[in-house]
C-alpha cells in the first residue's frame, strides 16, 4: 500500500471525535497520524492501519 507523508486517509471507522479523515505525519513500520477533526496525534502499527483504510488522497505536490 502506497501511503506517503502528507496524504489524507479516509478510514472505515470514525475516530471518537466523529471524523474519518487522518493526516499522515510519518510512515514506516508505524504510522503517525493526526485526526483532521480534533487534531489529536497518535501512532498506529502499519499492520493495523492498512486494514482500516477506505481511501487514500495523495498530496498533489509529490
Rounded CA separation 58/62 (Å): 8
- Whether the Cβ atoms of residue 7 and residue 60 lie closer than 8 Å to each other: no
- Nearest CA to 31 out of 19, 46, 21 is that of 46
Please report whether residue 30 resides in a domain. Answer: yes
User: pLDDT > 90: what percent of the chain?
Assistant: 89
State pTM to two decimals: 0.88
Structural domain includes residue 38? yes
Does residue 44 lie in a domain region?
A: yes
Q: Does 3 fall in a domain?
A: no
Number of domains in the chain: 1
Q: Name the residue range of residue 31's domain.
A: 8-57
pLDDT for res 45? 96
Print pLDDT tens along the chain (62 aa). 789 999 999 999 999 999 999 999 999 999 999 999 999 999 999 999 999 999 999 876 65
1 inside domain: no
Tell me how far apart the alpha carbons of residues 20 and 38 are, in angstroms, rounded to a whole number. Answer: 11
Is 62 within the bounds of a domain? no
DSSP secondary structure of 15-58: -TTS--EEEEEE-SSEEEEEETTT--EEEEEHHHHHHHEEEEE-
Residue 20 lies in a domain: yes
Amino acid at each position: 500500500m502506497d501511503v506517503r507523508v502528507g496524504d489524507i486517509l479516509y478510514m472505515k471507522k470514525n475516530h471518537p471525535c466523529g471524523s474519518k479523515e487522518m493526516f499522515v505525519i510519518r510512515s514506516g513500520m508505524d504510522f503517525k497520524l493526526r485526526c483532521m477533526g480534533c487534531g489529536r496525534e497518535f501512532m498506529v502499527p502499519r499492520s493495523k492501519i492498512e486494514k482500516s483504510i477506505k481511501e487514500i488522497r495523495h498530496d498533489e505536490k509529490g
